[in-house]
Amino acid sequence: MGTHSPWSGRFEKPLDELVQRFNASIGFDQRLAEEDVAGSIAHAKMLAAQGIITRDEAAKIIEGLDSIRNEIRAGTFAFRLDREDIHFNVEGALADRIGAVAGKLHTGRSRNDQVALDVRLFTRQALEQLQGDVLNVIDALIDRAAEHTATILPGYTHLQRAQPVVLAHHLLAYVEMLRRDYARLSDARGRLAESPLGAGALAGTTFPLDREAVARNVGFPAITRNSLDSVADRDFALEFLATTSILSVHLSRFAEELVLWSTQEFGFLIFDDAYATGSSMMPQKKNPDTAELIRGKTGRVIGHLVAALVLLKGLPLAYNKDLQEDKEALFDAYDTAHDCLRVLEGIVRTVTFRTDRMRQATTEGFLNATDLADYLVTRGLPFREAHGIVSQVVLFAERAGKTLEQLTLEELRLISPLFDAGAQTALDVDQGVLRRDLPGGTSPRRVQQALEEARNWWSVEVGRQTAADTQG
């Protein structure tokens, strides 16, 4: 038969064995072991400083917690199902080692505020790690972009060839997305950095706890302001999941382009052998499975966000056991995003861009049609009229089986007498790219400026992360 924990003395019947397994979270929340021990050590130090327990008692508790942490790190700590969760496992093991004094650790504390602190500490670490991962991918993108400030390929709308751009400009578009993701991760870190310890079960405690001291000890600059909210809400976890979902969508969009570009139909890139797989039947196949998995795992992360939103939407104040279900979603979303970022960095650093195929693709599909319309505007024609004339030119070229560049001046003048010798210059793809010389544009000069700005931003953020790690 199952048993209740030794802290549940009011029960006369043992817990049903199925319920014991159903109720237990130690199978997954043991991942919070480091955070639980760190929070407990901070709490013990504060209890001693406040005179709630003696310094000798605190020293004995902290020594026992340190030994437990060492065993957890060594992988030798025995997690027990009958102790239900990470909190009872740590406290139970502490009692086994130092006796009844271990029971004083829980003075002024509930598992409700304890787990709220643990999850905040884990989420902070997860956000910090993902920020580092994002910086690594940005670094890889900047490095590859720097190689291709003059490589021209088609830009697309509706997956149809639209206008020429340089490859560096295309890669820097993802740098911009990832920079916003980085900022969202940073914002989320700032909002969760409040210690809930001292909220107790829901109403605070009668003991004179120094909540600010605990917050400082665990590296949080502030404490939560309402005891009910402290234990009841997980919006910081929702924000993590939402931010990670947006990040994953950006990764998925890039992965989709990598998959498309690796097809024979596009032929714009070749995956490195270390990041591709073969077929069990077809010997010739080289499949972009890594990018496909990044694309596929995005649905998994979004699913965790939806699950967490639904989990919280109907919960009355304050704590409810439903909140036990937040952790697996949080853990898996972090693991998934972390792995996807690391794999994507490797893909970006090793992929071979086929610049010849990219350039060839710009000669098909009338990508310079807008340039021809812009040229007519410089001749005094309203753009809408110029658009209509060039539409007729495109139709004429299609029927003649020619590109726009292959049309003679006489053929162009059949459509409009405004065309003169300058039309041929307007149709030159390289010149068209050079003319897009405004901030945010795809001209090599502007792209070079964007590269320098991105690299400077990256250097500053890496410096901040390094400084934070050193202080931590």
At residue 279, the pLDDT reads 82
Global pTM value: 0.94
- Tally the domains of the chain: 3
Q: Would 448 be classed as within a structural domain?
A: no
Output the CA torsion sign for 162, 166, 167, 169. negative
Task: Say if residues 338 and 130 touch (Cβ distance below 8 Å).
Answer: yes
Q: 394 and 281 in one domain?
A: no
Q: 183 and 116 in one domain?
A: yes
* 38 Cβ neighbours under 8 A, 6+ residues apart: 121, 218
What's the pLDDT tens digit per position in 243-295?
999 999 999 999 999 999 999 999 999 999 999 998 888 888 889 999 999 99
Q: Would 456 be classed as within a structural domain?
A: no
Q: What is the CATH number of the domain that holds 117?
A: 1.20.200.10
Q: What is the CATH number of the domain that holds 405?
A: 1.10.40.30
Q: 335 and 238 in one domain?
A: yes
Residue 245 annotated as catalytic: no
Q: 54 and 85 in one domain?
A: yes
Is residue 440 left, alpha or beta, with left meaning phi > 0 and alpha meaning psi from -120 to 50? Answer: left
Q: Would 452 be classed as within a structural domain?
A: no
Catalytic residue (choose from 279, 338, 391, 443): 279
Residue 279 annotated as catalytic: yes
Q: 78 and 49 in one domain?
A: yes
Tokens representing residue 319 in the block? 């704590």
Q: 351 and 400 in one domain?
A: no
Q: Would 78 be classed as within a structural domain?
A: yes
Q: How far is CA 302 from CA 133, 187, 196, 333, 468, in A?
A: 19, 20, 27, 8, 30
- φ/ψ of 316, rounded to 5, equals -75, 160
At residue 47, the pLDDT reads 98
Q: 46 and 86 in one domain?
A: yes
Q: Would 446 be classed as within a structural domain?
A: no
Q: Would 173 be classed as within a structural domain?
A: yes
Q: 395 and 253 in one domain?
A: no
Q: 318 and 234 in one domain?
A: yes
Domain that includes residue 103, residue range: 17-107
The DSSP bridge partners found for residue 223 are 195
Task: Say if residues 136 and 340 touch (Cβ distance below 8 Å).
Answer: no
Percent of the chain, pLDDT > 70? 98
Catalytic residue (choose from 25, 110, 158, 304): 158
What's the pLDDT tens digit per position in 364-390?
999 999 999 999 999 999 999 999 999
Compute the distance between CA of residue 282 and CA of residue 35 in angstroms, rounded to an integer. 49
pLDDT above 50: residue 130: yes
Q: Would 247 be classed as within a structural domain?
A: yes
Q: 324 and 404 in one domain?
A: no
Q: What is the CATH number of the domain that holds 102?
A: 1.10.275.10
Q: Would 382 be classed as within a structural domain?
A: yes
Q: 231 and 122 in one domain?
A: yes
Helix (H) or strand (E) holding 451: helix 444-471
Compute the distance between CA of residue 144 and CA of residue 348 in angstroms, rounded to an integer. 8
Q: 413 and 306 in one domain?
A: no
Q: Is the bond into 215 cis (omega within 30 degrees of 0)?
A: no
What's the pLDDT tens digit per position in 166-220?
999 999 999 999 999 999 999 999 999 999 999 999 999 999 999 999 999 999 9
Q: Say how many C-beta atoms besides its own lie within 10 A of residue 144's C-beta.
A: 17
What's the pLDDT tens digit per position in 11-68?
778 888 888 889 899 999 999 999 999 999 999 999 999 999 999 999 999 999 999 9
